[in-house]
Amino acid sequence: MTITLLPVTGLPEIAAGDDLATLIAQAIHLQDGDIVVITSKVVSKALGLGVLTHDRQALVLEQSTAVVAERATATGVTRIVASSSGPVMTGAGIDASNSEELLVLPPDPDAAADDLRTALQAATGVHLAVVLSDTSGRPWRAGLSDFALGSSGLQRLDDLRGLADTHGRDLAVTVRNLADEIASAADLVKGKIERVPVAVVRGSASLLTDEPQPSLVRTGPTDWFALGRHEAVRAALGVTPGSPDAEAVGLPAVGEEPVAERLQRAVRAAAHGQPPVAVQVDEQSLELAADDPVALGRVWARIEVALAGERLTCSAQQLGPQRVRITVRT
């Protein structure tokens, strides 16, 4: 099996209401078994999903069901969220459309892929599949790569469980995400700058199917990374990522921060929702004082947890039944 990746060149700039199927069918001679991979941004444009707003951060929260991680940047806040369209993405996949508008993702990417597939098949008379691709970072890896935001007519997973390899060993955990691999492959011939938002993957007709396909989004209890390292600790202290509380406590910055700043943020997170305890914060240490020793113990433990969440280690000394001193080790 040889696969060819073909860029679809010569497409005009897409605007709301444009007939993508007709434009693509005119730009390339499609064949039976082709997989048409289209950048979701172009689909959003054609669907008229531009939003007139200057408040990108509010739009990100509006277009998401949960915040996974968030950092303060020089120009605002960057959030990785579970987008309401499905996937976990930075900024809910919102993109600049033109100087006036922000583009949101299709609310149902699979339905958008279905629609385009139906129209393309009607326009060309060939049997094909459609993938809506988008671009995302991947934890632990540098750079961005493409993935399948939605698809239609494609076998998304190759489930080899229960089969055996050439040595008769069980391929117990081998479920391939074909859709994401196809989106990544297509990106190699698409272009951010050269206006090539569509590519065709030719030669893998065996992957076409009309069977219902599973979701490629993993969320819920089986998602081991539902919160970032920092956010998991804050959430355990009652500071929910994406909430006004989280902003009040203060978001970590994307870059390096002085120890004193991280220490102060840890104290604010620890104090969240607690009865007032007197805390005197210095550069690398703090002193806690409380009439109620139970409250003292509570806030002491919470500060230690919050400091660990800031990747700061500390030592503590109880100075009496109502006083504790905590020092950050450097």
Q: Which is nearer to its own copies, 84 or 118 (CB)?
A: 84
Non-local (6+) Cβ contacts of 262 within 8 A are: 252, 307, 310, 311, 312
Which of the stretches 20-28, 43-51, 233-241, 278-286 binds its own copies when contact is defined by CB under 8 A? 233-241
Q: Which is nearer to its own copies, 1 or 52 (CB)?
A: 1
Work out the angle between the directed axes of helices 229-236 and 293-309 (0-180°, nearest 10).
Answer: 170
CB of 24 to its own copies, least distance (A): 17
Non-local (6+) Cβ contacts of 244 within 8 A are: none
Residues 136-155 that bind its own copies (CB under 8 A): 138-147
In this chain, which of 189, 249, 263, 286 binds its own copies, going by CB under 8 A? 189
Helix (H, G, I), strand (E, B) or coil at 323: strand
Which of the stretches 14-22, 50-58, 121-129, 165-173 binds its own copies when contact is defined by CB under 8 A? 165-173
**88 forms part of the interface with its own copies (CB under 8 A):** yes
**228 forms part of the interface with its own copies (CB under 8 A):** yes
Q: What is the 3-state secondary structure (H, E, C) of 144-208?
A: EEEEEEEEECECCEEECCCCECCCCCECCCCEEEHHHHHHHHHHCCCECCCCECEEEEECCHHHE
**212 forms part of the interface with its own copies (CB under 8 A):** no
> Beta partners for 37?
131, 199
Give the whole-angstrom CA distance, residue 308 versus residue 228.
14
Which of the stretches 43-51, 119-127, 198-206, 242-250 binds its own copies when contact is defined by CB under 8 A? 198-206
Residues 3-62 that bind its own copies (CB under 8 A): 3-7, 13
Helix (H, G, I), strand (E, B) or coil at 306: helix
**267 forms part of the interface with its own copies (CB under 8 A):** no
Q: Which is nearer to its own copies, 52 or 141 (CB)?
A: 141
Give Dmax (Cα) for the chain. Answer: 83
CB of 276 to its own copies, least distance (A): 15
Residues 271-330 that bind its own copies (CB under 8 A): 292-302, 304-306, 308-309, 311, 318, 321, 324
In this chain, which of 53, 57, 184, 327 binds its own copies, going by CB under 8 A? 184
Give the whole-angstrom CA distance, residue 198 versus residue 62.
29
Residue 173 token pair:
């955990």
